[in-house]
Amino acid sequence: MVRFRVALSYGFGEVSVEGESTKEVIDSIDQLKTIGRKAARKLGSAPAGKISVEKGLSDVIDVDERGRVKFKVPESSKLSGKEVLALLLLALDEPTSPSDLSEKLSSSWKKVSSKRVSSYLTATGNTPTIRGYVVKDGHGYKLNAAGRGWVKKEILPRLSA
């Protein structure tokens, strides 16, 4: 009897599934994709291909083979916390929770609590915020069209100057 085997590669390793029919394998792959995304978030590295660095952004952000983000800004004082957060959101393909954003910022820029990240995303009043530039999508946040424009028109040109 024929057995089918399919392997999916993620930043944390490889996950494989076997089955006796293509339908059984395809159903299992759908379940594996969900499990793989959740595992990658828990382990702090994104599945392969989940972070894309656009033209112009590659001068500022570098992504290693495990999906970890590193900022390549020569003078970190050029950027405020909300601007660094906006750059990170621009680089991420899918909505990301404040705790995941905090973890990525702390490992690549400077230590930032998830409470601080949440305040950058949602605060009102005197707190520096990007509230008008993000949308909540599920359990995470991502930049809206105005936010993408803000980063591309105001932050990136200032960094390349």
**Long-range contacts of residues 150-154, Cβ cutoff 8 Å, at least 24 apart:** 150/86, 151/86, 151/87, 151/90, 152/56, 152/90
Query: Domain count of the chain?
Result: 2
Does 70 lie in the same domain as 36?
Answer: no
Phi-psi region of 89 (alpha: psi -120 to 50; beta: other; left: phi over 0): alpha
Q: Considering the domain boundaries, does residue 119 fall inside one?
A: yes
- What domain range is 141 assigned to? 61-160
The CATH number for 145's domain is: 1.10.10.10
| Model pLDDT, residue 131 | 78
Does 35 lie in the same domain as 9?
Answer: yes
Q: Considering the domain boundaries, does residue 52 fall inside one?
A: no
Residue 55 DSSP label: T
| Model pLDDT, residue 23 | 86
Q: Backbone phi, then psi, for 33, in 5-degree steps?
A: -60, -45
Q: Considering the domain boundaries, does residue 9 fall inside one?
A: yes
Q: Considering the domain boundaries, does residue 140 fall inside one?
A: yes
Burial of 38 (0-12, 13-18, 19+ CB in 10 A): exposed
pTM equals: 0.61
Q: Considering the domain boundaries, does residue 82 fall inside one?
A: yes
Q: What does each C-alpha distance from 161 to 7, 8, 88, 156 come to in angstroms?
A: 45, 41, 20, 9
SS (H, E, C) 86-154: HHHHHHECCCECHHHHHHHHHHHCCCCCHHHHHHHHHCCCCCCCCHHHEEEECCEEEECHHHHHHHHHH
Instruction: Return per-residue pLDDT of the chain as tens, 161 residues.
Output: 677 777 777 666 677 778 888 888 888 877 877 776 777 666 654 443 344 455 556 666 776 666 667 776 655 446 788 888 888 888 876 788 888 888 888 887 788 888 888 888 887 766 667 878 888 888 889 888 888 888 888 888 777 66
Burial of 22 (0-12, 13-18, 19+ CB in 10 A): exposed
Does 152 lie in the same domain as 104?
Answer: yes
Does 112 lie in the same domain as 75?
Answer: yes
| Model pLDDT, residue 24 | 85
